[in-house]
Amino acid sequence: MSGVRLDGVALGKQIRGEVAEQVVALGITPGLAVVLVGEDPASQVYVRSKGRACEQAGMHSETIRLPATTNQAGLLAAIDRLNADPAIHGMLVQLPLPDHLDTDTVIRRIDPAKDVDGFHPINIGKVVLGDPTGFRPATPYGIQQMLIRSGIETTGAHAVIVGRSTIVGRPMASLLIQNGPGGNATVTTCHSRSKDLGAITRSADILVVAIGRPRCVTAEMVKEGAVVIDVGINRVEDASTERGYRLVGDVDFEAVAPLASAITPVPGGVGPMTIAMLLVNTLQAARAGLRF
């Protein structure tokens, strides 16, 4: 078996095109604000991409750049201003934050109706309950869309998620067990304390890996014919490249691709889907605002 490459660039572009059409039909301009504290290089790249995608979809984009020395009160005040701004329908604070800031307090300060990352406890609760008014975190939502739009059957499949983060692993489990399209799977969530990880991952029909360790999932850990979704984006040194590094996933792509029925590459797999779904959520926020 040789794996189909699941093309997140093409699928993401398709979804962004659909969003752009719906923005035109909406009659108001959805606005997304992204708050970046400090100068983390990877975060700067992500934030620029989010702003650009927003503008290309006909949305209003604001990036609030705050110095790494910003204190908790300063960051909360910036969030309060965005909560009160009628031109802003969705907002997010790019993570990770500098160590002196308390992420939980910051996330809880965002108006749940504008929390397009879906990280506020209100939205986490709604997603667990299957309430469609909740915002689904963009990465697992993008993975679910990728499965649906690629014709991959989740009903009755054993989906194994490696990693229990609040951004990916936990909401991924919630989405895959729901009763609906891209759901109805039997879900196992593994983490750093799981015993005999390989035995569990080998039983997966759909394997979602989000642990942040380069090429950690090897061919021996994957069943022939499995669908493999690699969420990892890791920089590894590579002197042959101009930048001195290249990006690899959490899965050993070269070894696993020949076994898999479908697999996401890194880059060009899950990443572009995440940005597309952030736009979908911003559109959802703007639409919901029209109803009040």
List interacting residues with ligand GUN (CB under 6 A): 92-95, 117, 138-139, 167
The number of residues making up the chain comes to 292
Please say whether the beta carbons of 182 and 176 come within 8 A: yes
**DSSP state at residue 220:** G
What is residue 267's three-state secondary structure?
coil
**Active-site annotation holder among 13, 22, 44, 94:** 94
**Pick 81 or 258: Cβ nearer ligand GUN:** 81
Please say whether the beta carbons of 255 and 218 come within 8 A: yes
> CA-CA distances (angstroms) from residue 38 to 49, 53, 78, 166?
17, 22, 14, 22
> CA-CA distances (angstroms) from residue 106 to 42, 68, 227?
20, 15, 36
Closest approach, Cβ 74 to ligand GUN, in A, equals 18
**Pick 117 or 205: Cβ nearer ligand GUN:** 117
- For 50, the token pair is 């989010």
Catalytic-residue membership of 117: yes
Catalytic-residue membership of 7: no
**Active-site annotation holder among 14, 40, 44, 50:** 50
Catalytic-residue membership of 72: no
Please say whether the beta carbons of 190 and 226 come within 8 A: no
CA 181 to chain centre: 18
**Pick 94 or 123: Cβ nearer ligand GUN:** 94
Closest approach, Cβ 107 to ligand GUN, in A, equals 9
Closest approach, Cβ 261 to ligand GUN, in A, equals 27
Residues facing residue 62 across a β-bridge: 33
**Pick 127 or 138: Cβ nearer ligand GUN:** 138
Question: Measured between alpha carbons, how far apart are the two ends of the chain, in Å?
Answer: 52
**Pick 119 or 253: Cβ nearer ligand GUN:** 119
Where do runs of H (alpha helix) occur along the chain? 8-26, 41-56, 72-84, 103-109, 121-129, 138-149, 169-177, 197-201, 253-256, 270-290
**Active-site annotation holder among 115, 117, 230, 252:** 117
Q: Minimal CA–CA distance to 164: which of 132, 128, 208?
A: 208
Closest approach, Cβ 42 to ligand GUN, in A, equals 8
Residues facing residue 162 across a β-bridge: 190, 209
Closest approach, Cβ 103 to ligand GUN, in A, equals 10
Closest approach, Cβ 93 to ligand GUN, in A, equals 6
Active-site annotation, residues:
50, 94, 117
